[in-house]
């Protein structure tokens, strides 16, 4: 069974509302206009890739196994502070796609087909844009996995 992971970018006011009343999470998750990045079921690949490439902040921040999880309606939820988002941005900016390609393997360490590697690496550009936008706005991230 695979899980689907989504990251949401939220300002401090929205984060406070969410922490004050968890019912507000439903509004965030159902809002089609919310700023989000859909990792879908590929999150484990990116956690492994970032860690193998030495991007510890990025790897641990997106990893539910390394997070302090809260439960909301059957989903695991965790938070990433704005200063950590800025560290993720810095790590990703300092690492080239070619460097990441050399670290791309499956969870058993086997080499992946080049077309699969290119597909995953190409998606990192969109991920970087999401993280950059959040950092520029001073937003926190909320991850939901379920």
Domain ranges of the chain: 5-145
pLDDT of amino acid 85: 98
Write out residues in the chain with pLDDT < 70, as ranges: 1-2
- Where does residue 9 rank: exposed (0-12), middle (13-18), buried (19+ CB within 10 A)? buried
pLDDT of amino acid 50: 94
pLDDT of amino acid 144: 94
pLDDT of amino acid 36: 96
For domain 5-145, give the CATH number: 3.40.1760.10
pLDDT of amino acid 30: 85
The helix-helix angle for 82-93 and 114-137 (nearest 10°) equals 140
pLDDT of amino acid 103: 85
Q: Which two tokens stand for residue 145?
A: 């996995």
pLDDT of amino acid 38: 95
Q: Is the pTM of the predicted complex or chain greater than 0.85?
A: yes
Q: Are 53 and 22 in contact (CB under 8 A)?
A: no
Q: Are 2 and 136 in contact (CB under 8 A)?
A: no
pLDDT of amino acid 98: 85
């Amino acid at each position: 069974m695979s899980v689907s992971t989504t990251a949401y970018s939220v300002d401090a006011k929205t984060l406070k509302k969410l922490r004050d009343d968890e019912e507000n999470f439903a509004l965030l998750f159902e809002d089609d206009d919310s700023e989000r990045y859909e990792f879908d079921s590929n999150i484990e690949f990116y956690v492994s890739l970032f860690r193998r490439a030495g991007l510890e902040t990025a790897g641990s921040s997106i990893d539910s196994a390394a997070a302090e999880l809260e439960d909301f309606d059957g989903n695991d939820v965790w938070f990433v502070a704005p200063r950590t988002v800025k560290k993720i941005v810095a790590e990703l900016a300092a690492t080239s796609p070619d460097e990441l390609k050399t670290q791309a393997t499956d969870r058993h360490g086997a080499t992946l087909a080049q077309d699969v590697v290119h597909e995953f690496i190409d998606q990192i550009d969109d991920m970087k844009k999401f993280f950059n936008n959040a950092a520029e706005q001073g937003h926190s991230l909320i991850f939901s996995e379920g």
